[in-house]
């Protein structure tokens, strides 16, 4: 939805007598711009309130009589109305205003825990319901008392869409005029916008300004800087990790069945599939033995389809505060939808949406699981979900039934041909010549090894070779392999149980 469409949606809510609108966002300035734009078209006054400032007519608001219209932008702050800093005083004053207006109340929700303030707020809201004035509450992690929540409508201010990001690039270029050289072609600007998707407007402007000022110019080479900063911003959010296509070097040995399925599934995103009213693939679930390439498969899918990869560790969703876990899930899926087309990798899904908690968490895991199923079924954006799981016993049965995912794959221990490919990949990655090793002997020695165990044996052997000041050779590798006890031995019964269940119900990746 473009910013103009967002404004129209907000205007519709105001005109349809909604007295309380809640905008839960960290982008306070953008919410303020939305309210101002909507109010100007409706010819309504706008008042801002904060506990620090009190109530004041918003700059640029129609009939803002006590601001200097000829002063430079942002050179003076609006003059606050006397004795309106306290929430109760502000609400009583608002009740006396007899013309239509929108009141932007910043971080106001916490004050509604006071009984007198909550009662006065409801009386103002009842009054506004009859003449189209509106109270807009903004802030982060908003919780409303029950008696107020049922009268409020929540407005979803999504992350900036391309039209806002194009404007952000123009604004930064104009503000830095004379200090930087702008050398952007239309395709470069498009690449900038794609790289900025998933960031707040303020973050996007900052990262463009940083990229421009670092070398005194804004050109196509700055896309890499933006992607690097974007990965950092998403990681700082604490829920997701971001892997841009340019930095995804994943290689997957074997998995022929999965690769063939992916090649077929990719056509589901094309125009021909849409002409037949076919819905694009929703996602896949990969279950199997630890260290056998489930995580690598998720990265390879993103690389093969040339899409960004977002990784969600399901365990990160949980928070000690009531309602925050659900909010974390909404935040993660909203970010994924904003960045579409994207691959969303939910790692160890059974830890966050499984059965391990029972009733000990007050039903939170079941609620999150319900949210996930609903979102997976109804998501409208091109987000392909790759969920991975190790423990089948903790996965809810509803998730395993046909139709939830497009396919469920089982990853078993690698066979001889796959182990050959794994050895060649990891030896080459560490500047070793695979042809100088007895690969056949290594493959035979690693019967029952996972891909991760093979990689670790190579790493340990390389450390030993460096320590002994000698080149890596087959004998050193065999020595490390013999010293390793693979999972197929240490957890033989668990693996046999998993294999028995999976081979009957799921598709093998081979």
pLDDT in tens, 370-383: 888 888 888 888 99
CA 153 – CA 135 distance, rounded (Å): 11
Q: How confident is the model at residue 12 (pLDDT cuts 50, 70, 90)?
A: very high
CA 120 – CA 112 distance, rounded (Å): 10
DSSP secondary structure letters along 24-73: E-S-HHHHHHHHHHHHHHHT-EEEEEETTTEEEEPTT-TT-TTS-TTSPT
Q: What is the pLDDT of residue 198?
A: 87
pLDDT in tens, 94-104: 999 989 999 99
CA 224 – CA 230 distance, rounded (Å): 10
Question: For the domain bounded by 3-155, which CATH number is listed?
Answer: 3.40.50
pLDDT in tens, 107-130: 999 999 999 999 999 999 999 988
- β-strand 240-243 against 217-218: which pairing, if any? unpaired
CA 301 – CA 281 distance, rounded (Å): 13
Instruction: Please work out, in degrees rounded to the nearest 5, the angle formed at the alpha carbon of residue 159 by the alpha carbons of 153 and 163.
Output: 115
pLDDT in tens, 384-411: 999 998 877 778 888 887 778 999 898 8
CATH architecture for residues 162-236: Orthogonal Bundle (1.10)
DSSP secondary structure letters along 457-492: HHHHHHHHHHHTTS---HHHHHHHHHT---HHHHTH
Nearest to 496 by CA among 200, 313, 289: 289
Torsion (CA) 269, 272, 276, 277 in degrees, nearest 10: 30
Q: What is the pLDDT of residue 75?
A: 47
Interior/surface letters 89-109, b for 16+ CB within 10 angstroms, e for the rest? bbbebbeeeeebbbbbbbbbb
Nearest to 357 by CA among 314, 295, 323: 314
Q: Coil, helix or strand for 371?
A: helix
CA 499 – CA 496 distance, rounded (Å): 5
**Does residue 206 register a pLDDT over 50?**
yes
pLDDT in tens, 411-429: 888 889 889 989 999 999 9
- Which fold is adopted by the domain 416-490? Helicase, Ruva Protein; domain 3 (1.10.8)
Nearest to 20 by CA among 154, 142, 143, 110: 154
Same fold for the domain at 3-155 and the one at 256-410?
A: yes
Residue 428 tokens, joined? 């080459």
CA 364 – CA 372 distance, rounded (Å): 12
CA 12 – CA 1 distance, rounded (Å): 15
Nearest to 212 by CA among 177, 247, 256, 162: 177
Q: What is the pTM of this model?
A: 0.75
pLDDT in tens, 493-508: 888 888 777 777 788 8
Q: How confident is the model at residue 31 (pLDDT cuts 50, 70, 90)?
A: very high
Domain ranges of the chain: 3-155, 162-236, 256-410, 416-490
**Does residue 38 register a pLDDT over 80?**
yes
**Does residue 357 register a pLDDT over 60?**
no
- Which fold is adopted by the domain 256-410? Rossmann fold (3.40.50)
Q: For residue 320, what are the CA distances in angstroms to 312, 323, 331, 344?
A: 18, 9, 17, 25
Q: Coil, helix or strand for 420?
A: helix
Is 45:39 a contact under the CB 8 Å cutoff?
yes
Is 242:345 a contact under the CB 8 Å cutoff?
no
Residue 239 tokens, joined? 């829920």
CA 449 – CA 462 distance, rounded (Å): 18
Q: How confident is the model at residue 320 (pLDDT cuts 50, 70, 90)?
A: low
**Does residue 268 register a pLDDT over 50?**
yes
CA 482 – CA 61 distance, rounded (Å): 77
pLDDT in tens, 244-260: 887 777 777 678 888 88
Residue 222 tokens, joined? 């700055």
Residue 468 burial by Cβ neighbours in a 10 Å radius (0-12, 13-18, 19+) = exposed
**Does residue 305 register a pLDDT over 70?**
yes
Q: How confident is the model at residue 67 (pLDDT cuts 50, 70, 90)?
A: very low
pLDDT over 90, % of the chain: 44
- β-strand 240-243 against 309-313: which pairing, if any? antiparallel
**Does residue 316 register a pLDDT over 80?**
no
pLDDT in tens, 273-294: 888 888 889 999 998 878 888 8
**Does residue 85 register a pLDDT over 90?**
yes
pLDDT, mean over the chain = 86
Nearest to 461 by CA among 484, 438, 441: 484
Which residue stretches of 356-473 are H helix? Answer: 364-378, 397-400, 416-429, 439-445, 451-467
Residues facing 153 on adjacent strands: 21
Tell me the Cα Rg of the chain. 28
């Amino acid at each position: 939805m473009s910013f103009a469409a967002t404004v129209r949606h907000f205007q519709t809510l105001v005109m349809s007598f909604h007295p309380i609108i809640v905008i839960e966002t960290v982008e306070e300035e953008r919410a303020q711009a939305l309210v101002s734009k909507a109010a100007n078209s409706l010819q309504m006054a706008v008042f801002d309130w904060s506990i620090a400032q009190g109530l004041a007519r918003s700059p640029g608001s129609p009939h803002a009589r006590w601001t200097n219209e000829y002063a430079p932008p942002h050179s003076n702050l609006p003059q606050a109305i006397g004795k309106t800093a306290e929430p109760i005083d502000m609400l009583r004053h608002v009740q006396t205003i007899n013309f239509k207006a929108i009141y932007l109340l910043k971080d106001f929700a916490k004050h509604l825990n006071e009984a007198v303030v909550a009662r006065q707020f409801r009386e103002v809201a009842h009054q506004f319901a009859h003449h189209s004035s509106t109270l807009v509450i903004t802030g982060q992690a908003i919780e409303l008392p029950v008696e107020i929540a049922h009268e409020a409508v929540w407005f979803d201010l999504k992350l900036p869409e391309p039209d806002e990001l194009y404007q952000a690039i123009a604004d930064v270029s104009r503000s830095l005029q004379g200090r930087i050289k702008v050398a952007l072609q239309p395709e470069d600007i498009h690449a900038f916008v794609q790289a900025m998707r998933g960031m707040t407007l303020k973050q996007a402007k900052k990262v463009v300004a940083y990229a421009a000022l670092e070398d005194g110019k804004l050109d196509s080479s700055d896309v890499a800087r933006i992607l690097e900063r974007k990965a950092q911003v998403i990681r700082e959010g604490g829920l997701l990790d971001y892997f841009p296509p340019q930095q995804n070097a994943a290689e997957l040995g074997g998995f022929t069945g999965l690769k063939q399925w992916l090649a077929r599934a990719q056509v589901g995103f094309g125009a021909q599939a849409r002409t037949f009213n076919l819905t694009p693939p929703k996602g896949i679930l990969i279950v199997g033995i630890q260290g056998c390439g489930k995580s690598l498969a998720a990265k390879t899918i993103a690389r093969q389809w040339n899409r960004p990869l977002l990784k969600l560790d399901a365990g990160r969703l949980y928070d000690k505060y009531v309602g925050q876990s659900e909010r974390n899930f909404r935040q993660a899926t909203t970010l994924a939808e904003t960045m579409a087309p994207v691959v969303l990798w939910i790692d160890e899904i059974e830890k966050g949406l499984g059965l391990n908690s029972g009733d000990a968490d007050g039903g939170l895991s079941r609620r999150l699981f319900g949210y996930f199923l609903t979102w997976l079924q109804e998501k409208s954006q091109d987000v392909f979900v790759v969920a991975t799981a190790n423990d089948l016993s903790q996965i809810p049965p509803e998730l395993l039934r046909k139709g939830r995912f497009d396919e469920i794959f089982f990853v078993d221990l690698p066979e001889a041909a796959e182990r050959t490919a794994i050895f060649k990949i990891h030896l080459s990655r560490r500047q070793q010549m695979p042809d100088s090793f007895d690969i056949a002997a290594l493959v035979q020695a690693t019967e029952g090894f996972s891909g991760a165990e093979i990689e670790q044996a190579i790493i340990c052997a390389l450390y030993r070779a460096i320590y002994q000041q000698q080149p890596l050779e087959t004998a050193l590798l065999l020595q490390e392999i013999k010293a390793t006890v693979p999972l197929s031995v240490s957890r033989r019964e668990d693996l046999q149980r998993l294999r028995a269940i999976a081979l009957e119900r799921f598709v093998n990746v081979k």
